[in-house]
Structure 1
Amino acid sequence: MSSSSSSPQTKILMSSNERVAVITGGEKGIGYNIAVQLGQSGLFQHICVTCRDESQVESTVNSLKEKLSPDIKICCSPMELGDTRSHEDLATTLKTLYGKIDVLVNNAGMAYDVDDDDDDDSTPEEEQCSNTLNINFRGTCSLTEELLPLLRQGSDPRIINVVSEQGHLKQLSKERQKQFTADDLTMEKLFDLMEEYENDVQEGNHLDKGWGKSFYGMADLALVAASQVWAHNEPDITVDCCDPGYCQTDMTHQKGNRDPAEGAKCVVKPATMENPPTGAFYANNEIASW
């Protein structure tokens, strides 16, 4: 993958011990800082980021080149999270270029303005719910499943899912919490639960049925649960979640109390540490309670 998506893709010649890190939503904010810090760790020879806007590909590559050693090979690809065809295209490109992925950081996502002020998004709640789940949860799951074959070929492969503090279990009723933490939870059951939640939102009775209030938070909660399922189903891949904190990014309208470079450290830690636990939840640079 070059800085231009229209360029033909040719396999990169690399030794078997060279490692590849892929970061979605890596053109700015937390994702960009994750890419920089992984590149500076000395553990990866290839840093590949995705961005939503094709026009940002070249500038993203150039910016990362300024931050990293010339020995680090950098690439960027446009990718629309939630678009199955886009997920497939990315998987094909990565397979052609590298034949494997060693670390996947699922950072890309979206959020509506819901600050209860005049700047709130006017999109109907039912549509906000569907869009948020389709991109942040279902989209991330679809992309990850598409890339799992490449991760299985990686050296000490790891998946790091970036979530927020809104994805905590306590937003649910006790009975709902049991459903999401059940030992026999499968991806099929999880998707059924989220479809039930979405239907209850459409009916306007989701709070009465023990669901959380925040659509963004529910998508994050479901992604944490999905991480637990992957951790169980993929014993050779470390799968963890990280809450980088409330950072100063475009998504928070720069209102966060933490620099995105500081937030990125929490994600980089399980991506680079020796023998990390799988199925863990990180916050403030340490394992925390979900």
Structure 2
Amino acid sequence: MSPLASPPGPGRAAARQEARSAGCAAAHPLRPGRRTMTHDGLRRTFLLSVPEGKGPHPVLLDLHGLGSSAAREAAYSRLAEEGSRRGYVVATPQAAEGRMGWTLPGTAGPDDAGFLAALLDRLGDGLCADRRRAFAAGMSYGGAMSAALVCALDGRLAGVAAVGGISVALPCERPRPTTLLAFHGTADRAVPYRGGHPFPDATGTLRALADLVVLPPVERAVDDWARAFGCSGRATARPAAGVRLRTWKACPSGAALRLYTLDGGGHTWPGAAGTSGPDATTIILDAFDRAPSR
């Protein structure tokens, strides 16, 4: 410490100590790679990326889309690789065996919100995690599940990001202030930007299921989140060619809301291999770095 610097006050030191999870003292920390755990009688798996350093580290859940997998999500989003470089513990979980995707809160199926909460607990017990800095992001249905966790985990997450899925999960009445980012292409054929039935090109069972669902337009869905958070002062900017950024100037402390609209963009993760547009991975991690701690 510089001789001119003042030592941290007791309040700041106590806050740092409170943020440290039990895993900071773990004799046998969790090792990176493919890990398993049991929740609600079901054996669940997740891929784990652990950063260097002692921590405490922020924790990020990366959720795959419908019909995808943890391995494909990790490769596609690059959050495990890039997040761990920034000091994040990144867990990329797999939906329950025999399921194409996640069970949104209030729908039939495994208690995935409970599983993801238990996964955060497991990471906190097995690694030196910052309990005030937990995040979730995902693609498509995984993005919808990430947004749903704002309400389902009742403020446990400091930030979430939904890529191609924000209109699938509606906000609850009074969500806790959270940093929320959404990315969506206007030419998305799986989750239409202007709303309507998802997966219009599907056939068979998926077509029958999709016909039962009518999604709101993406901009309306994000406006609903703004109202739920209590944000006002909507503004639109053009940060790059083909990109529209919708923000809100006034949100309650701890809340921030952004919608990145990709003109002509499809059902993709912007910046991933073979896609165009801004690098969603970098934007998400930059926003999570700046998000207020819980």
Same topology, TM > 0.5: no
Higher relative contact order (CA 8 A, sep 6+): 1
Q: TM-score range by the shorter chain?
A: 0.3 to 0.5
Q: TM-score, normalised by structure 1?
A: 0.43
Q: TM-score, normalised by structure 2?
A: 0.43
Comparing both structures, which one devotes a greater share of its residues to helix? Answer: 1
